[in-house]
């Protein structure tokens, strides 16, 4: 008997990864690179040399696993590296310790394989995230991190009071010019003792971080005093405002939006007005005291933020499509090279090649999820796929069967695609949708 479905009805096993030929880029690698590499997904899932038994909940795809360990943010002169270095430099020069040492340590090489507990993911939502291996224990169910906040607790447990952490993060999402299933974030955390928080305030000696009989309200957590929250919030917003002014220049317009995260309260998002549009660049807030407590730092309080490196880079350098970050084309990469980290950079677009589009429509089973389909399209079509949009939905008046029609736009970033190439890829997508997602094609 399978008990998983019983305890976790939302986690229905799905026929997501039946054995099938490796994608063409893997096949090519096999022909040219000597001995055949072990496939990334067989009975086990292989991630950075570690092996995880594949089970019904494994939903990572070879295309995604190929990106693990690439670490674009660590590739010197890559635009994500340039942004990361500018942020690091700002923190290094603005916040120094008593001995002139940088206050914030920087970490950019932590493995993206985390447990669902680290990821603050109680939902185990296979539609939104990539899982490697399921277990009843929160400590053993593994996934690819969906945000860099997944490392907050371990770095605080290691005794760090102020740190920045950059890394690749993975989410199953829609397909368009600003969404890619792998993107990069930078996390910042700063903790304060009562002395550190109150020493700059007149009469601060009488203030305390915690209160015994408080309430959780919209403004604060139960254990925090209002003074604690207000000072932390001021320090957090001041730190982020100053970072954004450094990156975007003094003209930039900002606004704070209240929001919710399970690991901070209160929580905010920062939006930047750039070329007429409000763009969300980061989420942040006052760290949940329970997290600090479980990390052995319950006597301190702290704030945290997480910002999207692609979002910042797209705006700052005028990069129109998020797929470009993965380009190996010299005409793209060379535009970011140079000795001066702070030189103004404005991306000169490569010629724009014509798009080709093809529609696909099918009857869908009840278990159908759009993110499964998007993932399948990305897995087969790779970076040839620019956008997938739902064109039409239809419910048969008699049978109640539902059908959906999607338009897939194909466009290569570096050359003109042939009709033949697109047709082959599109047909592969049609076949795989039938065999893997249980849809019935109307083609
Ligand atoms: C988070 O990921 C939280 N971990 C942020 C946080 C950290 C809050 C610490 C509190 C304390 P969110 O999902 O909003 O939040 O993502 C944070 C930023 O990542 C966004 O503001 C955006 O800049 C970027 N981002 C989010 N989704 C995408 C995406 N699909 N593509 C590119 N960038 C994205
Ligand atoms: Mg957000």
User: If pLDDT is split at 50, 70 and 90, which confidence band does 25 have?
Assistant: very low
Q: How much is the pLDDT for 24?
A: 37
Per-residue pLDDT at 100 exceeds 50? yes
pLDDT surpasses 70 at 4: no
Residue 392: pLDDT above 50? yes
Lowest mean per-residue pLDDT among 149-153, 252-256, 274-278, 381-385: 274-278
pLDDT at 28: 33
- What is the spatial distance between Cα 41 and Cα 17, in angstroms, rounded to a whole number? 9
Q: pLDDT tens digits, residue range 283-296?
A: 999 999 999 999 99
> 214 alpha carbon to ligand 1 midpoint, in Å?
31
Please tell me the distance from the alpha carbon of residue 165 to that of residue 171, in angstroms, as a whole number: 18
Interatomic CA distance for residues 259 and 280, integer angstroms: 12
Name the pLDDT band for 21 (thresholds 50, 70, 90): very low
Three-state helix/strand/coil letters over the chain: CCCHHHHCCCCCCCCCCCCCCCCHHHHHHHHHCCCCCCCCECCEEEECCEEEECCCCCCCCHHHHCCCCCCHHHCCCCHHHHHHHHHHHHHHHHCECCCCCECCEEECCCCCEEECCCCCCCCCCCCCCCEEECCCCCCCCEEECCCHHHHHHHHHHCCCCEEEEEEEEECCCCCECCECCEEEEEEEEEEECHHHHHCCCCCHHHCCCECCCCCCCCCCCCCECHHHHHHHHHHHHHHHHHHHHHHHCCCCEEEEEEEEECCEEEEEEEEEEECCEEEEEEEEEEECHHHHHHCCCCCCEEEEEEEEHHHHHHHHHCCCCHHHHHCCCHHHHHHHCCCCCCCCCCCCCCCCCCCEEEEEEEEECCCCCHHHHHHHHHHHHHHHEEEEEEEEEEECCCCCCEEEEEEEEECCCCCCCCHHHHHHHHHHHHHHHHHHHCCEECC
- Residue closest to 189 by CA, chosen among 220, 223, 151, 219: 151
Give the binding-site residues of ligand 1, using a 6 Å CB cut-off: 147, 149, 171, 173, 179, 183, 185, 187, 261, 264, 267, 280-285, 304-308, 310-311
Nearest to 365 by CA among 406, 408, 405, 403: 403
- What is the distance between the alpha carbons of residues 137 and 115, in angstroms, rounded to a whole number? 9
Residue 405: is its pLDDT beyond 90? yes
- Identify which has the larger pLDDT, 277 or 198: 198
21-35, 101-115, 157-171, 284-298: least confident range = 21-35
The atom number, within ligand 1, closest to the CA of 305 reads 9
Ligand lying closest to the C-alpha of residue 149: 1
Q: Which of 288, 311, 312 to mutate to test the pocket of ligand 1 (most atoms within 8 A of CB)?
A: 311
Q: Is the pLDDT of residue 26 over 50?
A: no
pLDDT band at 56 (very low <50, low <70, confident <90, very high): confident
Put simply, whether the predicted model's pTM sits higher than 0.85 gets the answer: yes
| Residue whose pair of structure tokens reads 């945000």 in the numeric block | 147
pLDDT of amino acid 204:
84
Q: How large is the average pLDDT for residues 66-83?
A: 97
Q: How far is the CA of 278 from the centre of ligand 2 (A)?
A: 13
Kindly state the average pLDDT of the residues 16-37. 40
Q: How confident is the model at residue 271 (pLDDT cuts 50, 70, 90)?
A: very high
> Distance from the CA of 177 to the center of ligand 1, in angstroms?
17
- Of 72 and 141, which is predicted with more confidence? 72
The pLDDT, as a whole number, for residue 369 is: 94
Mean pLDDT over 294-310 rounds to 97
Q: Which of 136-145, 215-224, 404-413 has the lowest mean pLDDT?
A: 136-145
* Count of alpha carbons within 13 angstroms of residue 137, beta-carbon side: 2
Q: What percent of the chain has pLDDT over 70?
A: 90
Question: Tell me, what's the pLDDT at 135?
Answer: 76
């Amino acid at each position: 008997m399978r008990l998983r479905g019983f305890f976790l009805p939302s986690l229905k096993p799905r026929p997501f990864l039946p054995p099938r030929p490796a994608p063409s880029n893997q096949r090519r690698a096999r022909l040219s690179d000597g001995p055949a590499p072990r496939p990334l997904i067989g009975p086990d899932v292989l991630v950075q040399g570690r092996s995880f038994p594949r089970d019904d909940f494994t939903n990572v795809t070879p295309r995604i696993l190929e990106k693990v360990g690439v670490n674009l943010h660590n590739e010197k002169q890559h635009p994500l590296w340039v942004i990361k270095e500018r942020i690091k430099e700002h923190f290094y020069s603005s916040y120094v310790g008593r001995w002139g040492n940088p206050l914030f340590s920087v970490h950019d090489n932590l493995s993206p394989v985390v447990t669902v507990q680290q990821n603050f993911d109680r939902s185990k939502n296979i539609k939104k995230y990539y899982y490697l291996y399921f277990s009843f224990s929160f400590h053993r169910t593994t996934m690819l991190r969906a945000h860099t906040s997944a490392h907050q607790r371990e770095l605080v447990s290691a005794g760090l009071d102020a740190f920045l952490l950059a890394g690749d993060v993975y989410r199953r999402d829609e397909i368009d010019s600003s969404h890619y299933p792998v993107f990069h974030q930078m996390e910042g955390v700063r903790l304060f003792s009562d002395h550190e928080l109150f020493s700059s305030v007149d009469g601060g000696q009488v203030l305390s971080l915690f209160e015994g009989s408080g309430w959780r309200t919209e403004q604060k957590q139960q254990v925090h005093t209002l003074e604690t929250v207000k000072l932390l919030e001021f320090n957090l917003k001041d730190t982020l405002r100053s970072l954004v002014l450094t990156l975007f220049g003094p003209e930039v317009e900002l606004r704070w939006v209240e929001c919710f995260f399970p690991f901070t309260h209160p929580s905010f998002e920062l939006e930047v007005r750039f070329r007429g549009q409000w763009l969300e660049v980061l989420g942040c807030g006052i760290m949940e005291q329970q997290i600090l407590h479980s990390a052995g730092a319950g006597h301190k309080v702290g704030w945290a933020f997480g910002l999207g490196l692609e979002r910042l880079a797209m705006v700052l350098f005028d990069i129109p499509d998020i797929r470009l970050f993965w380009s190996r084309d010299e005409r793209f990469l060379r535009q970011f090279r140079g000795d001066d980290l702070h030189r103004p950079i404005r991306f000169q677009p490569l010629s724009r090649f014509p798009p080709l589009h093809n529609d696909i429509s099918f009857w869908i089973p009840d278990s159908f999820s759009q993110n499964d389909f998007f993932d399948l399209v990305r897995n087969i079509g790779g970076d040839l796929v620019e956008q997938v949009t739902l064109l039409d939905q239809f419910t048969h008046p008699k049978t109640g069967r539902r059908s959906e029609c999607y338009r897939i736009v194909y466009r290569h970033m570096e050359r003109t695609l042939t009709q033949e190439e697109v047709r082959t890829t599109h047909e592969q997508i049609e076949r795989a949708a039938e065999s893997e997602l249980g849809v019935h094609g109307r083609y």
